[in-house]
Amino acid sequence: MINVVVSGCNGAMGRVLTKAIEEMEDITIVAGIDKNINSYKNTYPVYKSPLLVKEECDVIIDFSKPSNLNGLLEYSVNNNIALVIATTGFSEEEENKIKEASKFTRIFKSSNMSLGVNVLINLSKQATNTLGNITDIEIIEKKQKKKEKQIRINEKKKINKINIKKCNQ
């Protein structure tokens, strides 16, 4: 059995993840982390900070906000807990903290878990490799929410940028 803590459990993706895990037989959610601990009725305890989690777990899956990063990294490193980071919008300094923490614990980071967006990113990388530095690719992902985020994905060659924008619908 894999014991999971879901960070951002009361957000949209956290609720989707909770529902998916609850249908699995070999994975269970032992706790959640969310700043709004009472905004959604969960079948597991919810804490405001990872440092308050009492349950033993194998992995933390994070769909929260960059402001939670320090606590998640501290908890993960100090307890040797694997960390899956699906949060976006990290500063360069925060990206460096993630890189440093990965020397001490297992971290998997993905800036976007959407299958469609990841297919488009891979296709864009192929186009960039084929066409060289004459490309300027922008991927727009429409959402119903009224916030806009921009994620920049720089390839190792740093020739081009692929911009993913979440726009109002």
Domain ranges of the chain: 2-109, 115-167
Written as six digits, the tokens of 164 are 């993913």
Domain 2-109 has CATH 3.20.20.10: no
Q: What residues pair up with 92 in beta bridges, in sequence order?
A: none
- What is the rounded CA–CA span in Å between residue 41 and residue 39? 7
Per residue in 98-157, pLDDT (tens digit) is: 999 999 999 999 866 665 656 666 777 777 777 777 767 666 655 544 444 444 443 333
Half-sphere exposure of residue 36, counting CA atoms within 13 Å on the CB side? 12
Question: What are the C-alpha distances in Å from 60 to residues 4, 57, 112, 114, 129?
Answer: 6, 7, 17, 19, 35
| Predicted local confidence at residue 78, as pLDDT | 96
Q: How many CB atoms lie within 10 A of CB 145?
A: 11
Per residue in 117-130, pLDDT (tens digit) is: 566 667 777 777 77
Output the pTM of the full model: 0.70
- What is the rounded CA–CA span in Å between residue 116 and residue 162? 15
| Coil, helix or strand at residue 10 | coil
- What is the rounded CA–CA span in Å between residue 26 and residue 17? 14
First to last CA, the chain: 40
Per residue in 38-94, pLDDT (tens digit) is: 888 899 999 999 999 999 999 999 999 999 999 999 999 999 999 999 888 899 999
